[in-house]
Amino acid sequence: MGTACGKYAIAGVGVSRFGKVPGVSAMGFTLEASKRAVEDAGLEMRAVDGLLAVMPAAIGEQHGWAARVAAYLGLDPSFCTTLDMGGATACGAVHVAMAAIEAGYCSVVLCAFGTQTWPQGVPLQLFGSEFHLVYGDVGAICFTGFIRRRQQFEYNLPDELYGRVAVTCRAHAQRNPEAQMRKPMTLDDYFHSRWVAEPLRLFDCCPNTDGGGAIVVTSVERARDLRQPVVRIIGVGQEHRAEVIVPTGDYQELWGGTGAARRAYASAGIVAADLDCAQLYDAFTPRVVNDLVAYGIAAPEELDRAFARGEFTFGGRLPVNTAGGLLSEGHLWGFGHVREGVRQLRGECSDRQVADAKLCLVTGYGGAPHESPPTVSYSALVLGRD
């Protein structure tokens, strides 16, 4: 990967209404976000000739989802397909968009997503393998709890660290009028939140979010003629391998995504220390701990003190999750992260603007932690101001 790096740009980003929004379908959110992203780019909808739609897993089997999104948008795309990497899809779709334009399949690609967490008035369907579900081992929460337990065991990490991650994201969300969770949170509040699956408390988990997001990708040249300051995609990385808890016993790597990090930095020609801000995929607090280590930003032993000293907030070494992250802005499957990264580099974040932000890392993470074997994908973008 990487030959396309530097040649393509994110020209537009958008989100739909999001939060607890009953009664709107996944398609409804997808269309709403798509229109906003295309308008943000200063394009007419008919300029879109490539469409990548995210598989809305909550609905179950959805054949031809992307083609249906195209039909609703009135598009006639020369390239159109559904992608399925869960929370890794936002960054992953950008990778595919670059490849499709590089291959000459299309020139303006819309990456679109929407989800309704209570599709027919019932919670989203739960899938899971016969080897997990029968023990009450359900979903990403147990999976993440297993991982956090290993993180703390191997590096003697204190519970406070995870609280500080949650508190930091909440403080950032207070600077974001759109955020789903804006009530102030202290470390004490964190420790008083109820257990969900020990070692995870409620405030270790992001809220359920209904909503959608969209991204427009095109060439740097074309983007320069459009409405917004150009944000270049200068590095990309992926990895597809569950971390420490894979069932084979022969893969002992605790930190997941190191391969995605290596590939992203190599294609961008940068090191972690060059970054001005980072949007790290944080469906749960241990993911932020993981990504800070896996992406070479900090050593595990220094994390707690670094958070306590404010190194990951505004004015610190590397502000992370500047809009509040999935934990407090809301869980738009990483589309919020891409949008925030783009907006930071455009300099349009007012109260939460990172001064002179030139480089932003965005990470994604997702898959099927409740299946057998548990599998996840890691994806990353290094975005740069033109």
- 362 is an interface residue for other proteins by CB under 8 A: no
Query: Contacts with other proteins in 230-289 (CB under 8 A)?
Result: 245-250
E strands, 277-356, are 277-279
CA distances in angstroms from 52 to 80, 88, 214, 244, 314, listed in the order given: 6, 14, 10, 31, 34
- 336 is an interface residue for other proteins by CB under 8 A: no
- 191 is an interface residue for other proteins by CB under 8 A: no
Total residues at interface with other proteins (CB under 8 A): 38
Only one of the segments 2-10, 131-139, 261-269, 328-336 lies at the binding site for other proteins (rule: CB under 8 A); that segment is 131-139
Instruction: Specify the residue, 220 or 246, whose C-beta has the smaller distance to other proteins.
Output: 246
Instruction: Specify the residue, 49 or 137, whose C-beta has the smaller distance to other proteins.
Output: 137
Q: How far apart are CA 112 and CA 53, in angstroms?
A: 5
User: Which of 386, 383, 385, 379 is closest to 54 using CA atoms?
Assistant: 379
- 134 is an interface residue for other proteins by CB under 8 A: yes
E strands, 36-108, are 50-54, 79-83
Only one of the segments 58-66, 70-78, 139-147, 322-330 lies at the binding site for other proteins (rule: CB under 8 A); that segment is 139-147
Determine the straight-line distance between the first and last CA of the chain, rounded to whole angstroms.
21
CB 212 within 8 A of CB 333: no
Closest distance to other proteins from the beta carbon of 98 (Å)? 31
Which residue in the set 31, 93, 141, 332 belongs to the binding site for other proteins (CB under 8 A)? Answer: 141
The identity of residue 109, as a single letter, is: V
CB 224 within 8 A of CB 128: no
Instruction: Specify the residue, 177 or 248, whose C-beta has the smaller distance to other proteins.
Output: 248
Instruction: Specify the residue, 77 or 163, whose C-beta has the smaller distance to other proteins.
Output: 163
Closest distance to other proteins from the beta carbon of 203 (Å)? 14
Instruction: Specify the residue, 25 or 375, whose C-beta has the smaller distance to other proteins.
Output: 375
Q: Which residue has the tokens 């294609």?
A: 267
Q: What is the DSSP letter of 253?
A: -
CA distances in angstroms from 303 to 44, 81, 149, 152, 159, listed in the order given: 46, 40, 16, 12, 12
Q: How far apart are CA 146 and CA 9, in angstroms?
A: 38
**Binding-site string for other proteins from residue 197 to residue 236, where x marks contact by CB under 8 A and - marks none:** xxxx------------------------------------
- 122 is an interface residue for other proteins by CB under 8 A: yes
CA distances in angstroms from 272 to 48, 260, 261, 292, listed in the order given: 34, 13, 9, 10
- 138 is an interface residue for other proteins by CB under 8 A: yes
The verdict on whether omega for the bond into residue 199 sits within 30 degrees of 0, i.e. cis, is yes
Which residues lie closer than 8 Å to 156 by C-beta, 6 or more apart? none
Tell me phi and psi for residue 361, to 5 degrees.
-95, 135
Instruction: Specify the residue, 187 or 246, whose C-beta has the smaller distance to other proteins.
Output: 246
Instruction: Specify the residue, 147 or 275, whose C-beta has the smaller distance to other proteins.
Output: 147
Tell me phi and psi for residue 165, to 5 degrees.
-60, -50
Task: Tell me the β-bridge partners of 102.
Answer: none
Only one of the segments 27-35, 93-101, 145-153, 302-310 lies at the binding site for other proteins (rule: CB under 8 A); that segment is 145-153
- 130 is an interface residue for other proteins by CB under 8 A: yes
Closest distance to other proteins from the beta carbon of 190 (Å)? 16
Q: How many CA atoms lie within 13 A of 353 on its CB side?
A: 12
Instruction: Specify the residue, 123 or 269, whose C-beta has the smaller distance to other proteins.
Output: 123
Closest distance to other proteins from the beta carbon of 87 (Å)? 17
- 153 is an interface residue for other proteins by CB under 8 A: yes
Only one of the segments 149-157, 307-315, 335-343, 349-357 lies at the binding site for other proteins (rule: CB under 8 A); that segment is 149-157
Q: How far apart are CA 34 and CA 26, in angstroms?
A: 12
Only one of the segments 55-63, 190-198, 264-272, 353-361 lies at the binding site for other proteins (rule: CB under 8 A); that segment is 190-198
Binding interface with other proteins (CB under 8 A) = 122-123, 126, 128-139, 141-142, 145-147, 149-150, 153, 194-200, 245-250, 372-373
